[in-house]
Structure 1
Amino acid sequence: MKFVVGSQNPVKAAAVETALDRYQPTIRSVAVDSGVSEQPSTVEETISGAKTRAKRAFAAEKGDYGVGLEGGVARFDGELYLIMWAAITDGERIGCGSGPSLRLPEVVSAHLEAGRELGPVVDDLLGTDDIARAGGAAGAFTDGLIDREEALAGAVACAFGPFVTNEYDR
């Protein structure tokens, strides 16, 4: 199966490969616009970005599926959380799934509320360079218990469910 991932970020392509390994996927990455802000700030905006990436990836290059992955932040119970969503389309149907969510430290939340983007904020705070292409904020704020690839892979697995089980057709 060929999966076209709507991002040039190697962590996102690796997440698709990790999640769908049993299907022996062929992965291609294409640059597409998410159609949302650089730092999505609601669940709805994050899902919209994932869906748009999936649709545009599918349209950009021939494949069996287009995959969109989007990280964002959202407020739950008064605190800001990192969230991750995936969308997968075969051109007719679209499946969506989320990865884990992670409460962000107050110092990070303050920067995000001031309009900054998560990756650069974490890079500045931790002295890293482009953490979004490595373990991500998930890895940084869990001491590596889960990293960005694993978190995104969970979202991909959930989004692919409707394509690999009959339970959604009942």
Structure 2
Amino acid sequence: MKIGIGSSNPAKVKAADAFLNYFENAELTVFSSDSLVSSQPFSDEETKTGAVNRAIDCVRQGAAIGLGFEGGVMEMEDGMYLSNWGAVADRQGNILTAAGARILLPPPIVDGLREGKELGQFMGEWTNDPEIRKKDGAIGVFTAGLLSRGEMFSHIATILLGQYVYMNSNK
């Protein structure tokens, strides 16, 4: 079974392991899928839409199951939060979504985002590590390394897998 992931970001690719380990003879194909949303999503809706678009694009490109993950931010009454979404799509037209951890972003990061900077790039500048988005990400930085971006996306992937298995076992 061909499982597609709509990003080459290692933190997102690693999250596909949940599906690879569950389905026998599964193989992963990495697709360059456009989220079709802004490079810095500023709402849960936009972030979720980006994940869905990536998952659907994987299926369009030949995957039996497509996975999409997208990171963004969202405003709430007490500040701006990190937002992460995932989606799974299949050839039957099924689409399932799930969200991950939320964490309040510190004021200097929020200021940078409001000035038009993209979170991954800004975190690279802020931490002096241009590859931070491919490793621990903002969630890793602001949890003192106790939760990485890859672990967060893996958690979302596990939720998606559980939903997918449940949906297919109850048809």
Normalised TM-score (structure 2): 0.91
Q: Give the drift of 1:77.
A: 2.4
Change (3 A) 1:33 1:124: same
The letter of the residue matching 2:90 is: D
What are the equivalent positions in structure 2 for 1:7-46 lying under 5 Å apart?
A: 7-18=7-18, 21-23=21-23, 25-46=26-47
Structure 1: which 5+ runs fail to align? none
Q: Answer whether contact 2:19 2:161 (CA < 8 A) is retained.
A: no
- Aligned mates of 1:39, 1:140 — CA distance in 2: 18
- Aligned mates of 2:37, 2:167 — CA distance in 1: 32
Match of 1:70 in 2: 70
Match of 2:83 in 1: 83
Q: Secondary structure at the match of 1:102?
A: coil
Change (3 A) 1:105 1:67: same
Normalised TM-score (structure 1): 0.91
Q: Answer whether contact 2:11 2:149 (CA < 8 A) is retained.
A: yes
Structure 2: which 5+ runs fail to align? none
Q: Give the drift of 1:130.
A: 2.0
Q: Give the drift of 1:154.
A: 1.3
Q: Give the drift of 1:85.
A: 0.3
- Aligned mates of 1:81, 1:11 — CA distance in 2: 20
Q: Give the drift of 1:55.
A: 0.4
The letter of the residue matching 2:163 is: P
Report the RMSD for the aligned CA atoms in angstroms.
1.9
Match of 1:95 in 2: 96
Q: Please list the CA deviations of residues 59-118 of structure 1 after superposition, one character each: whole Å capped at 9, or x if unmatched.
A: 11x222011100000012231111110000112100100111111111101100111100
Q: Answer whether contact 1:67 1:86 (CA < 8 A) is retained.
A: yes
Q: Percent identity?
A: 32
